[in-house]
Structure 1
Amino acid sequence: MNDVQHPVGLEFQYLGFTENPPRLSPYLPMWEYQRQVQARVAAHEIPNQVLYVEHEPVYTAGRKTLPEERPFDGTPVVDVDRGGKITWHGPGQLVGYPIVFLPGQVGVVDYVRRVEEAVIRYLATLGLTTGRVQDRTGVWLAADGVRPERKICAIGIRVARRTTVHGFALNLTNTTGAFDNIIPCGIADAGVAAVLTELGRSPSLAEAGKGLEPFLAEMMAFEPYASSPDLHELVG
């Protein structure tokens, strides 16, 4: 298998939310679909993929989730095999699942940094200044004197057969109240943001997906790139 050339390119699948009327995706069938696509990408049968979805409301918990971080009212949670802790998915949030075969020189941390970079660059086109926070995965907005640092995009992945699964969740028009019922990503001293609440406007999910395409394609080509500054460098 090592001498088999992986198909070139990055293909994007828009699942459900571009239909009329839009169709929310239940989590478990989409998780199974991810595994099916991952198997084909890992076997070099198809090019790398990005699956875009809008989920039905659901809490998902990564392997590091602690009991006290789960919903305070006992709401059911789907336990998944990705890294990270607990988060929420639901209407108004663009979830992207890049299913990508990692070249030999690319590690998990570098891959996550590349996903963050794509989102940071896209949000800049909307007029939002975002960045990374040291030791905290995802894409963040700076504290503003009233509100703490706020995560606008969560990331959690798993790699098997050098092929990624799971991905990122970008808050667009969703209200952030669902996060009040958990300690999102296990971080108690920070908040959650959405594009709509920050700017007073937001692209649609389809528009955001299209806007992200060139940035994800660039990052998933795994060429050298100039990394955006960390958030503390921007506001320091």
Structure 2
Amino acid sequence: MNAVLNKQTKFIDLGLIDYQQAWDYQTDLFEKTVALKIDNRKADVTEQVSTPNYLIFCSHPHVYTLGKSGDQAHLLLDEKGLADKQASFYKINRGGDITYHGPGQIVGYPILDLDNFFTDIHQYLRLLEEAVILTLADYGITSGRIDGLTGVWIDIENPDKARKICALGVKSSRWVTMHGFAFNVLTDLNYFQNIVPCGIDDKAVTSLEFELGKKPDLDKVQNKLKQHLAKLFEFDLIED
């Protein structure tokens, strides 16, 4: 537990950014926070300093990412296929299987020291999901969870029609988190046809645009989501 709890959370909007560049950026913040926690453990209580928290929003050019427990066979494209789709591919250090990121998607990377909030990774995942569920409710869309599957789903009562609108995949060390969620808002869903999304071959993927039948304002969706996250986590949100 931190000697000095800090619920201040800096919001950072990176916009459309190359996946590797964003990965390096969040890794730097993550590693610095972990290092600070290690230093705090070695220091006298009076010399310990509070750890920072960050909430990063961005989107990426077309990219497929495979989690450390994923199966590369779930990528249905070879190198030429990736080039034809103008997409890149990365094996990364989060949990979960394969997913797609692209323009029109809200990708969230919370770099949080959960010692500042609660030390329960399952609660952490459920709150990320809940923020998306509440955002969808703002648009009149009912969504929820499916037992045994992470993420946010629509038509959860009908297994044959259930479809995922938000995927989750996180990493944590010493209760510091990185990676996060991908919420399909204006996403080109055709790109999901080139993978077995999250290793699940019997469920569809959807977007807010598809469910509404019209294009929502991406900035407004992002703001609603950000505010739900702040309320659920009790962030003291700091914006530049």
- TM-score, structure 2 as length reference: 0.82
Please list, as runs of the form range in 1=range in 2, the aligned pairs for 1:158-177 lying within 5 A after superposition: 158-177=171-190
User: Offset of 1:144 from its aligned partner?
Assistant: 8.7
Residue deviations 1:145-200 (CA, integer Å, cap 9, x gap): 79621000001000012110001101011121101011000000100000111102
Q: Residue 57 of structure 1 corresponds to which residue in structure 2?
A: 62
The one of 27, 52, 56 equivalent to 1:35 is: 27
Instruction: Select between 179-188 and 64-73 the one with higher mean Cα deviation.
Output: 64-73
CA distance in 2, matches of 1:182, 1:71: 5
Q: Does 2:122 align with 1:117?
A: no
Structure of higher CA gyration radius: 2
RMSD: 2.2
Which residue matches 1:108?
Answer: 121
Runs of 4+ in structure 1 off by over 4 angstroms are 143-147
Q: Structure 2 unaligned runs (5+)?
A: 37-48, 83-87, 236-240
Partner SS for 2:141: coil
Question: CA shift at 1:45, angstroms?
Answer: 5.9
Give secondary structure in 2 for the equivalent of 1:210. helix
Equivalence map 1:1-236=2 (5 Å): 3-16=2-15, 24-42=16-34, 43=36, 47-74=52-79, 75=82, 77-103=89-115, 105-142=118-155, 148-221=161-234
Q: Please state whether the residue corresponding to 2:220 is helix, strand or coil.
A: helix
Give the structure 1 partner of residue 45 of structure 2.
none
Deviation at 1:3, TM superposition (A): 4.9
Q: Which runs of 5+ in 1 are unaligned?
A: 17-23, 223-236
8 Å contact kept, 2:7–2:234: no
> Matched residues, percent identical?
37
Residues 192-214 of structure 1 show CA distances to partners (whole Å, capped at 9, x for unaligned) of 00011110224333222211122
**1:234 match:** none
SS of the counterpart of 1:77? strand
- Tell me the SS of whatever aligns to 2:211: helix
Distance 1:100 1:69, change over 3 A: same
Give the Å deviation of 1:82.
0.2
Cα distance in 2 for residues equivalent to 1:220 and 1:41: 19
Aligned partners of 1:82 and 1:166 also within 8 Å: yes
What secondary structure is seen at the aligned counterpart in 2 of 1:215?
helix
One-letter identity of the residue aligned with 2:112: V
